[in-house]
């Protein structure tokens, strides 16, 4: 059993964050361990509050997980601020897990800031050089690169900038690309590959980014090459979106265990 450790924030409604990561990693065949960086009060209507955990607590969680478990991959999510990013980066430099998937969580679907304004540059400087792959959506890629991203070509250019910042690969997710929704662009030092997906008219998409990145981490941990890990994860998250759950009064979560539903 391969272990994937998610370092991220908690979502009390369990649609995104650590809880989504747990479900996605498990559904993709790996064992999920967690390091919680923050607690949020959150539901399908939005984020009502967020509180970072003490740095000592996060550091000790990382120590506990890595001292005991053989971690094959790490996925990072909500880190909140520069000091937390620096702590996580230092631990990853020391621990050197085989794969690191960086999901640069900056803002919730409903507009709640999950990363301090001054921390994007820290994330770019400290975490990107450690990333096997970084998985920003269009808005996050714009914040990290300073580029305006509207087309597939723009996404490719942004990916190249992220590689220049140190990432080994960049997957710019295209949910907001003009004329190419559900199209993701993978940029590596060797090639650019476009993953054309199915656009599903679905309201309930809470936690999609967390789910996708965690699935990629699990697939890498299980031995898949990067392009195959992304392809399999995209198929998984597409079906999770298709089965979006009508839970609560707002934007419900994706169905992480769609494969267990029977007619």
Where exactly are the structural domains of the chain? Answer: 3-260
By mean pLDDT, which of 21-35, 47-61, 88-102, 193-207 is the weakest? 193-207
207 counts as catalytic: yes
76 counts as catalytic: no
What is the rounded CA–CA span in Å between residue 206 and residue 199? 16
Q: How many residues does the chain have?
A: 263
Q: Is the pLDDT of residue 175 over 80?
A: no
209 counts as catalytic: yes
Mean pLDDT of 52-61: 98
Mean pLDDT of 80-105: 96
User: Catalytic residue among 5, 23, 210, 254, which?
Assistant: 210
Quote the percentage of the chain above a pLDDT of 70.
Answer: 99
User: Catalytic residue among 77, 81, 197, 207, which?
Assistant: 207
Neighbours of 144 (CB within 10 A): 24
By mean pLDDT, which of 108-112, 132-136, 170-174, 256-260 is the weakest? 108-112
What's residue 199's pLDDT?
Answer: 87
Q: Which residue has the higher pLDDT, 139 or 225?
A: 225
What's residue 182's pLDDT?
Answer: 86
110 counts as catalytic: no
Mean pLDDT of 201-220: 95
Domain 3-260 architecture: 3-Layer(aba) Sandwich (3.40)
CA-wise closest residue to 19 among 9, 29, 28, 27:
9
Q: Is the pLDDT of residue 71 over 90?
A: yes
Quote the percentage of the chain above a pLDDT of 90.
Answer: 86
Q: Is the dihedral of CA 203, 204, 207, 209 positive or negative?
A: negative
User: Catalytic residue among 183, 205, 211, 254, which?
Assistant: 205
What's residue 263's pLDDT?
Answer: 62
Q: What mean pLDDT value characterizes the chain?
A: 94
Mean pLDDT of 79-101: 96
What is the rounded CA–CA span in Å between residue 84 and residue 56? 10
Mean pLDDT of 69-86: 96
| All residues at 6 or more sequence positions from 56 whose CB lies less than 8 Å from its CB, including other chains | none
User: Catalytic residue among 37, 44, 135, 208, which?
Assistant: 208
User: Catalytic residue among 5, 173, 197, 252, which?
Assistant: 173
5 counts as catalytic: no
CA dist list (Å): 146 to 112, 125, 138, 174, 240: 21, 14, 11, 17, 31
Reported as a single tens digit per residue, the pLDDT across 127-171 is 999 999 999 999 999 999 999 999 999 999 999 999 999 999 999
Q: Which residue has the higher pLDDT, 24 or 120?
A: 24
Reported as a single tens digit per residue, the pLDDT across 40-50 is 999 999 999 99
């Amino acid at each position: 059993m391969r272990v994937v450790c998610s370092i991220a924030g908690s979502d009390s409604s369990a649609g995104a964050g650590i809880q989504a990561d747990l479900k996605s990693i498990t559904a993709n065949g790996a064992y999920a361990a967690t390091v919680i960086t923050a607690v949020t009060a959150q539901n399908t209507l939005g984020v009502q509050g967020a509180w970072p955990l003490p740095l000592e607590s996060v550091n000790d969680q990382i120590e506990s997980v890595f001292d005991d478990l053989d971690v094959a991959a790490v996925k990072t999510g909500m880190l909140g601020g520069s000091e937390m990013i620096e702590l996580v980066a230092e631990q990853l430099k020391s621990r050197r897990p085989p794969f690191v998937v960086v999901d640069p969580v900056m803002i919730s679907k409903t507009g709640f800031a999950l990363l301090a304004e001054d921390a994007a540059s820290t994330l770019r400087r400290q975490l990107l050089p450690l990333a096997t792959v970084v998985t920003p959506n269009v808005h996050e890629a714009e914040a990290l690169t300073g580029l305006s991203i509207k087309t597939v070509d723009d996404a490719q250019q942004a990916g190249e900038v992220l590689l220049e910042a140190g990432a080994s690969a960049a997957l710019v997710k295209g949910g907001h690309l003009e004329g190419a929704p559900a199209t993701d662009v993978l940029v590596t030092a060797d090639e650019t590959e476009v993953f054309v997906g199915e656009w599903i008219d679905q309201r309930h998409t809470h936690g999609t980014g967390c789910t996708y990145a965690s699935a990629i981490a699990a697939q890498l941990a299980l031995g898949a090459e990067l392009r195959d890990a992304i392809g399999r994860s995209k198929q998984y998250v597409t079906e999770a979106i298709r089965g979006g759950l009508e839970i609560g009064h707002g934007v419900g979560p994706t169905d992480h265990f769609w494969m267990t539903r029977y007619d």
